[in-house]
Structure 1
């Protein structure tokens, strides 16, 4: 079928991941799935040259680990900052040579070794098994937004960003594909100019996209779903198991019963890197506790305003903005006093504690609220 021809199966990544299968995490929750969504900043390909010169390499402009709960009643999208300092393993380059293991910014993994290197970096960081991956470029993103006739967002103030070619009034605005791309990629001219603000904006946009798809009954109507999948797959690379109409259709249709209030967005707990304020590092033990919940498919909650009575302190008091250690609610967790180095429980998390609360938002929230 036409859609099958649109999708590029990532056979090279599959071979590389198979090579390191013994090192990869095992799945702990039967029926749950973890899908790594990678937004590539590649300037090659159809319609991408207008965003800059093709350097011959590409980096992950946006990376989200999407966790789908068993039974498909919950979905949690965890953003990974591109400036996060992480251990990147030895990876296969496109020229057939292998890189040396290094400590670098997260988006270096995609630049040096593509999706396989990014998956291995995520798995090393989180100890969460990545079941599938999807890579989409600028053109594919725009086409997908246009296929649903635009997505409505709420702007607290007007936008006039010449670099992003974006000029919009305040209030509720429906963005077409080109405008949506500028909106989610802009960094210096919107909000406080931080990558934190950009990721929050991306999460709100994705929540609005979920609402648009659900309001149009796209997921329930194959006739409406087909053009959306056709647009999305026009610039899509996936693992071989997803690289077919049936694979993607089953995945997307499986989301139709998830309530919007159970579609959650958050960013991995992080703060400014202690040696460079322009880079990020994980905040522990908050990050590990989030990873543990996702590994075991255990419930968690998100809210825009998390209580700040935590006894955890940021390791880097000079971090920009509010450190994540101050915006995590330990009161509901039940893991002692929140000190690092605690042993992971052997029993399922659900029997240990209620759902902890992290700072984030859901698709049910009104961006104008």
Structure 2
């Protein structure tokens, strides 16, 4: 019998303790199922994104004895390459000429402590001595006084790294390559990038048709901006590099101003675009290592990134090509090797 002195609800609890325990068990089982499903979903997402990343064993392709030593252990040197391949989804940008070149090459030096960075753009028309390279498809012979971007065209990422190390004396720790289609998708997923376009640009070759002034560029427009060469200045690669640097500054600001962690769907789309668009070295060849590296740069913003172009001068043997201008170029590489700020532009900076 129930105790008449107790409220009806409490009386029911006393007569049915088994029912309460059954409800508790059901809740615990439901929670366990949800946690299990969440774990499975997370594992599937990780496997999906991790499987997107294409990586190469760059260290295994390079001659360890010929490589520069690391001088500052906490600093990181990365080579960023923009591929102009016309194969696959990139066919709309012109005929496939039987190989890809690196229209964009930037050496990114991240200081010890990850608080400051320097970005050095190497003009594709720079004449360099290319070392012999071993690649996944065979060997590439050494060559003197050839255009810098032939390293990527002939030997891909590994040969580009070897050429940059010979040119700069820097040990390259990581390399990232992105192609046209991947770049566009990345910008669109970010919601576009707001850029102050310095002048009207109408370049049919790069698909760039932009008006002067601040504007939000989508992926197609952003790609046109960073690719244009004939639509600005004297049509040389130096004008294009300045636009690329303007865009990169805006991109860094955009990423820092967007809190992706509050929007899981958008974060997944961004990670999906990034991982499927990149080819990396083995050191960044997993989602875990790539994410860890990006998080280590959390304290870095656009105001602490110094964008420069390698100081160059017209090549004596060919006015349509350039060569590193000394001693300015050497001063830039020496500063990075020693993890120091770049010299003032008037003392060793880029040519305007």
TM-score normalized by the length of structure 1: 0.78
SS of 1:199's partner is helix
Label 1:94 to 1:251 Cα distance change in 2 as closer, same or farther (>3 A). closer
Q: Do 1:8 and 1:237's aligned partners in 2 also have CA atoms closer than 8 Å? A: yes
Say if 2:58 is the partner of 1:16.
no
SS of 1:27's partner is coil
Q: Distance in 1 between matches of 2:300 and 2:140?
A: 42
Q: Which residue of structure 1 lines up, in the alignment, with residue 91 of structure 2?
A: 49
SS of 1:70's partner is coil
Unpaired runs of at least 5, structure 2: 1-45
SS of 2:118's partner is strand
Q: Which residue of structure 2 lines up, in the alignment, with residue 29 of structure 1?
A: 72
Which of 276, 281, 284 does residue 318 from structure 2 map onto? 276
Which of 33, 37, 50 does residue 4 from structure 1 map onto? 50
Q: Distance in 1 between matches of 2:314 and 2:351?
A: 19
In the TM superposition, residue 360 of structure 1 has moved relative to its aligned partner by 9.3
Q: Distance in 2 between matches of 1:141 and 1:29?
A: 31
Which of 306, 312, 319 does residue 264 from structure 1 map onto? 306
Q: Which residue of structure 1 lines up, in the alignment, with residue 347 of structure 2?
A: 329
Q: Deviations over 1:63-117 (max 9, x none)?
A: 0011111111001111011100101011236652442433311001111111111
Higher-Rg member (1/2): 2
Q: Which residue of structure 2 lines up, in the alignment, with residue 77 of structure 1?
A: 119
1:300-311 superposed matches below 5 A: 300=342, 306=345
SS of 2:134's partner is coil
Label 1:244 to 1:221 Cα distance change in 2 as closer, same or farther (>3 A). farther
Which of 152, 166, 190 does residue 194 from structure 2 map onto? 152
SS of 2:132's partner is coil
Q: Distance in 2 between matches of 1:175 and 1:257?
A: 26
SS of 1:163's partner is coil
- The answer to which of 51-60 and 79-88 deviates more is 51-60
1:104-253 superposed matches below 5 A: 104-218=146-260, 223=264, 225-253=267-295
Q: Which residue of structure 1 lines up, in the alignment, with residue 138 of structure 2?
A: 96
Q: Distance in 1 between matches of 2:206 and 2:330?
A: 36
Q: Distance in 2 between matches of 1:222 and 1:238?
A: 26
SS of 1:329's partner is helix
Say if 2:111 is the partner of 1:66.
no
SS of 1:281's partner is strand
Q: Do 1:99 and 1:112's aligned partners in 2 also have CA atoms closer than 8 Å? A: no
SS of 1:272's partner is strand
Q: Do 1:91 and 1:112's aligned partners in 2 also have CA atoms closer than 8 Å? A: no
The count of aligned residue pairs is 305
Q: Which residue of structure 2 lines up, in the alignment, with residue 311 of structure 1?
A: none
Q: Do 1:159 and 1:169's aligned partners in 2 also have CA atoms closer than 8 Å? A: yes
Q: Distance in 1 between matches of 2:225 and 2:312?
A: 23
RMSD over aligned Cα atoms = 2.0
Label 1:329 to 1:43 Cα distance change in 2 as closer, same or farther (>3 A). same
Q: Deviations over 1:114-140 (max 9, x none)?
A: 111111110001110000101111111
Q: Distance in 2 between matches of 1:280 and 1:146?
A: 35
SS of 1:92's partner is strand
Label 1:359 to 1:83 Cα distance change in 2 as closer, same or farther (>3 A). closer
Label 1:222 to 1:38 Cα distance change in 2 as closer, same or farther (>3 A). farther
Q: Distance in 2 between matches of 1:117 and 1:71?
A: 29
Q: Deviations over 1:16-59 (max 9, x none)?
A: 12xx00110011012100010011111123x2111112222111
- The answer to which of 96-105 and 199-208 deviates more is 96-105
SS of 2:172's partner is coil
Q: Deviations over 1:215-259 (max 9, x none)?
A: 1134x6683544323212222110111011111111211222113
1:308-319 superposed matches below 5 A: none
